[in-house]
Amino acid sequence: MKAKAVLEKLNVKDVNVGACAGPDDWYKDPEAEESVSYNPATGESIARVLQATEKTYEQVLEAAEKAFKSWQMMPAPKRGLVIRDLREALQEKKEPLGDLVSLEMGKIRAEGHGEVQEMIDICDFALGLSRQLYGLTMHSERPAHRMYEQWHPLGAVGVVTSFNFPVAVWSWNAAIAAACGDTTVWKPSSDAPLTAVAVQHIANQVMSSHGLKGIFNLLIGRGSVIGERMINDSRLPLISFTGSTKMGQHVSEAVARRFGRTILELGGNNAIIVAEDADLEMAVRTILFGAVGTAGQRCTSTRRIIMHKSIASELTEKINNAYKQVKIGNPIEEGILMGPLVTKAAVEDMMAALEKAQEQGGEIILGGKRLPGLGEQFVEPAVVKMPKQTEIVYIETFAPILYLMEYEDLEEAIHLHNEVPQGLSSSIFTTNLLKAEKFLSHEGSDCGIANVNIGTSGAEIGGAFGGEKETGGGRESGSDAWKAYMRRQTNTINWSKDLPLAQGIKFGD
């Protein structure tokens, strides 16, 4: 696969403009700073982007606001047809777009293509949703009155995404928001701007074929400049932010100060409990995918294994054997299971975390070394046996580090599981129905996602995605997550000739 050919298929140039509101609305500013996107596997420059400026930010926001006025009035099923065409356009570009995801952020091709499939899937969902934005009807306590609720579009929605799912998370938001009658303004990660440029070209093509602009908008720039501007901008009534807990706190405070809304998808510290009766072969395959996939850089990556004492040795050996089979290398090559980390800084973060784990009594039983022969950003995935859940285990290190801990009874396992501040995804491997149900019960997992005999990562778009505690409480994607993108209005209509008051109050009769 040649990078140049991939870029050409996606219309990505050597130098790209980072502010856009439609096919003829790429906003250039001579003052714009240039940023470079590097291939994390080779360290080579892929292409450059002229970042959004104060001036181009305003142009994009004005376009998004203006487009919202007419978009909200288009019947939702008609909006669905635009999303249907977006789905078709994504399907057509699935291969090059998936390849660009791999090139730019380092996940393997199968995962890159899977990510674009997720975009296609959410468009399918949003198309159906466009005919199902249901509101409830209530029986009024007053005679000859009708009471119901309806859902109205919100406005322009700010979407801030992370490098690890550089295109799928945009689509979770943009497709649902579009079905709901909202426009979106997207600030992608500074580590994955080219995939965003490519997606904008695809969205432009779709908008153009419907005579639209300003529905899907792009602003590439630094978090401290463009991100800050967005979270403080009251023209964006909703900010959907994917990132860390620390940043989520900041975003939440800023948006709440102006009474805006947030959807927060923040850190995870996901664990699998492996019970004594678990199918260990199945558990090991799942653990490998969860901990090593995307080089441990998913929000839902498996970071902790809480295993029953009686099977700890056997499971540890099986995990070690599985890890030894992992082929590490350039993610675009066939047969590779793990690519590089996204930046050099991420490698340093991983190494420092491993040193800390050792200082806290952890034993690195496998991996954890740099692989300079492959490139500066390649590492071995690490398996670390911890004597207990120490401070470093409470922290989400965005790297392939798997902590192993033992338990004696299920209560202890659930306690360990829930003890961390994050609450995104969780899993138990067991063949015992009682244990599975306990894990899913009120006193079980405290996460937004809780699975039995499947891992912590690899969610489908049909369910609501998100977590509790420091994960932020937001929900995106399927189920009724769409409600966050709309405003609820309760309506009461009096079709009688009297004026009865609620609660039977008499006033001036």
Partner 1 sequence: MQPLVTLDTQIEDLVLKYPKSVHFLTKNGIRCIRCGEPLWCSLGELLEDEKVKNPQELVDGLNQFLKEQDDL
What's the full length of the chain, in residues?
Answer: 509
Choice between 248 and 444, CB closer to partner 1: 248
Minimum distance of partner 1 from residue 49's CB (angstroms): 14
List beta partners, residue 241.
160, 264
Minimum distance of partner 1 from residue 346's CB (angstroms): 5
Minimum distance of partner 1 from residue 181's CB (angstroms): 30
Site string for partner 1, 11-40 (x = CB under 8 A): ------------------------------
What are the two backbone dihedrals, phi and then psi, of residue 465, each rounded to the nearest 5 degrees?
-105, 130
| Residue choice 250, 261, 370, 483 for contact with partner 1 (CB under 8 A) | 250
If one asks whether residue 471 binds partner 1 (CB under 8 A), the answer comes out as no
If one asks whether residue 191 binds partner 1 (CB under 8 A), the answer comes out as yes
If one asks whether residue 167 binds partner 1 (CB under 8 A), the answer comes out as no
Cβ neighbors of 477 (< 8 A, separation 6 or more) are: 122, 125, 172, 176, 459, 461, 462, 463, 464, 465
| Residue choice 156, 353, 384, 486 for contact with partner 1 (CB under 8 A) | 353
Judge contact between 383 and 367, C-beta under 8 A: yes
Minimum distance of partner 1 from residue 324's CB (angstroms): 26
If one asks whether residue 349 binds partner 1 (CB under 8 A), the answer comes out as yes
Binding region for partner 1 (CB under 8 A) out of 46-54, 277-285, 330-338, 344-352: 344-352
User: Site for partner 1 (CB under 8 A): how many residues?
Assistant: 38
Choice between 54 and 443, CB closer to partner 1: 54
Judge contact between 217 and 136, C-beta under 8 A: no
Choice between 189 and 445, CB closer to partner 1: 189
Q: Considering the candidates 118, 299, 447, 476, report the single residue annotated as catalytic.
A: 299
Judge contact between 467 and 447, C-beta under 8 A: yes
The Cα 451–Cα 464 span in angstroms is: 14
| Residue choice 14, 141, 281, 348 for contact with partner 1 (CB under 8 A) | 348
If one asks whether residue 247 binds partner 1 (CB under 8 A), the answer comes out as yes
Choice between 22 and 368, CB closer to partner 1: 368
Minimum distance of partner 1 from residue 248's CB (angstroms): 9
The Cα 158–Cα 246 span in angstroms is: 19
If one asks whether residue 102 binds partner 1 (CB under 8 A), the answer comes out as no
If one asks whether residue 346 binds partner 1 (CB under 8 A), the answer comes out as yes
The Cα 431–Cα 433 span in angstroms is: 6
Structure tokens at 259: 């009474």
Nearest to 125 by CA among 172, 59, 183: 172
Choice between 86 and 341, CB closer to partner 1: 341
Q: What is the DSSP letter of 500?
A: P
Q: Considering the candidates 104, 111, 265, 476, report the single residue annotated as catalytic.
A: 265
The Cα 52–Cα 25 span in angstroms is: 13
Minimum distance of partner 1 from residue 189's CB (angstroms): 6
Minimum distance of partner 1 from residue 376's CB (angstroms): 9
If one asks whether residue 396 binds partner 1 (CB under 8 A), the answer comes out as yes
Minimum distance of partner 1 from residue 162's CB (angstroms): 6
Nearest to 410 by CA among 389, 430, 435: 435
Q: Which residue has the tokens 């990078």?
A: 3
| Residue 62 appears among annotated catalytic residues | no
If one asks whether residue 343 binds partner 1 (CB under 8 A), the answer comes out as yes
| Residue choice 223, 458, 463, 500 for contact with partner 1 (CB under 8 A) | 223
If one asks whether residue 292 binds partner 1 (CB under 8 A), the answer comes out as no
| Residue choice 162, 426, 456, 457 for contact with partner 1 (CB under 8 A) | 162
Helix (H, G, I), strand (E, B), or coil: what is residue 427? strand
If one asks whether residue 256 binds partner 1 (CB under 8 A), the answer comes out as no
| Residue 333 appears among annotated catalytic residues | no
If one asks whether residue 371 binds partner 1 (CB under 8 A), the answer comes out as no
Judge contact between 404 and 305, C-beta under 8 A: yes
| Residue choice 244, 320, 360, 431 for contact with partner 1 (CB under 8 A) | 244
Q: What is the DSSP letter of 379?
A: B
**How much helix, strand and coil, in percent to the nearest 5, is found in the chain?**
40, 20, 40
Judge contact between 296 and 353, C-beta under 8 A: no
Residue 76 CA: distances (Å) to CA of 4, 93, 128, 171: 39, 26, 10, 18
Choice between 392 and 484, CB closer to partner 1: 392
Nearest to 467 by CA among 437, 446, 440, 436: 446
Nearest to 444 by CA among 475, 465, 468: 468
The Cα 171–Cα 126 span in angstroms is: 10
Which residues are designated catalytic? 265, 299
Site residues (CB under 8 A) for partner 1? 162-164, 189-191, 222-224, 227-228, 243-247, 250, 266-267, 297, 299, 341-349, 351-353, 355-356, 395-396, 398
